[in-house]
Amino acid sequence: MTKKCKKNEDESGVFEMFKMKFRGIKWNYIGTVASILVCILFIMMLLLSSILTVAFDIDFYEAQYDLLDRPQAIGISKEELMIVTGELLDYMAGRREAIDSRAVIRGEERYVFNAREIAHMVDVRNLFAKANLTRNVSLVSLIVILILLYAVFGKNAWLGFLKSFIAVSSAMYLLLVSLYIFAVLEFTLFWDLFHRLTFDNYLWLLDPRTDIMIQMVPEQFFYNTVMRIIVYFVSALLVPTLASLFYIYTIRRKKSGLSKQGQ
């Protein structure tokens, strides 16, 4: 027997001993807490993925520029505006080291962004880096916890997890409805609170009369962005929620049928 085969057998033996030790444990509060944590991590991963998908979708920017007539408002050609946007997205994604875009604006070639705008984008870039890291850590963490849950509770882990997921996702839907109503009714306040909670400075307060950054993405742009993120997130969350409900309904119906046969 080779050393590699012996190592694989040893690892398999350890896992089997682990399963034998905990076999027969019924689903308890530890499993419930762990499954709720997995659900929160999963929902966080979906939310951050939705945010990052919309934030780095250059086609979305182009559609919004056309809708809000941004080239005309800024005094720049659409071609140059899209080049500047691409460079800005590259910077936010960490593929570009500096924001030094130049373009012809109102007939004058100049640097597009001033010092305050660039300083704010440093904060935005760091925020997206943290969001990406959190999403990746959430994915790895939920996989590890799911494996441990299955190793300890066996098949009971699956049904327990689905019940927890339905409960957590239902709470998430209620929170989303509340945030949606808030954003629709008072978006300026909603967006202001978001920035105050997210950033530890006021560099995000830009002047729409002079700062190209806010001329590119005015409040209506951010409103449309938030609505797009909500649509993406709800769509991504709805599929596993409906699948979980269907699975639990099927299991209960099967158990009901078996109990009737046994009577």
Taking CA 69 as the corner, what is the angle to CA 63 and CA 74, rounded to the nearest 5 degrees? 115
- Residue 125 has φ and ψ, to the nearest 5°, of -60, -45
The answer to whether residue 23 scores a pLDDT higher than 70 is: no
Share of residues in the chain with pLDDT > 70 (%) = 86
Q: What's the domain range around 40? A: 28-262
Instruction: State the average pLDDT over residues 54-83.
Output: 97
Taking CA 153 as the corner, what is the angle to CA 149 and CA 159, rounded to the nearest 5 degrees? 85
The answer to whether residue 9 scores a pLDDT higher than 70 is: no
* Any domain includes 210: yes
Q: Is the dihedral of CA 202, 126, 198, 99 positive or negative?
A: positive
Residue 152 structure tokens: 């300890």
- Please give the pLDDT value at position 123: 97
User: Whole-angstrom Cα distance, residue 46 to residue 39?
Assistant: 11
The answer to whether residue 15 scores a pLDDT higher than 60 is: no
For residue 197, which of 245, 127, 137 has the smallest C-alpha distance?
127
For residue 129, which of 57, 48, 59 has the smallest C-alpha distance?
48
- What confidence tens digit (pLDDT) does each residue in 213-263 have? 999 999 999 999 999 999 999 999 999 999 989 988 887 777 666 555 555
Instruction: State the average pLDDT over residues 29-38.
Output: 86
* Any domain includes 3: no
pLDDT-based confidence at 24, cuts 50/70/90? very low
User: Whole-angstrom Cα distance, residue 263 to residue 249?
Assistant: 21
* Any domain includes 74: yes
Average pLDDT, whole number, for the chain? 88
CB 72 within 8 A of CB 218: no
CB atoms within 10 A of CB 262: 6
Share of residues in the chain with pLDDT > 90 (%) = 72
CB 244 within 8 A of CB 162: yes
- Kindly state the DSSP code that residue 155 receives in the 8-state scheme: T
CA 15 to chain centre: 33
- Kindly state the DSSP code that residue 69 receives in the 8-state scheme: T
Which residues, 6 or more positions from 121, have their beta carbon under 8 angstroms from its beta carbon? Answer: 88, 91, 92, 99, 113, 213
- Please give the pLDDT value at position 18: 46
How many CA atoms does the CB half-sphere of 145 hold within 13 Å?
20
- Please give the pLDDT value at position 181: 97
* Any domain includes 20: no
CB 199 within 8 A of CB 74: no
* Any domain includes 183: yes
> Does residue 148 or residue 19 have the better pLDDT?
148
- Please give the pLDDT value at position 141: 95
- Please give the pLDDT value at position 160: 79
- What confidence tens digit (pLDDT) does each residue in 169-202 have? 999 999 999 999 999 999 999 999 999 999 999 9
Q: How far is the CA of 81 from the CAs of 48, 104, 214, 217, 240, in angstroms?
A: 27, 10, 13, 12, 39
- Please give the pLDDT value at position 8: 52
* Any domain includes 12: no
Residue 236 structure tokens: 């991504």
* Any domain includes 51: yes
- Please give the pLDDT value at position 156: 72
- What confidence tens digit (pLDDT) does each residue in 133-156 have? 999 999 999 999 988 888 877 777
* Any domain includes 13: no
- How many domains does the chain fold into? 1
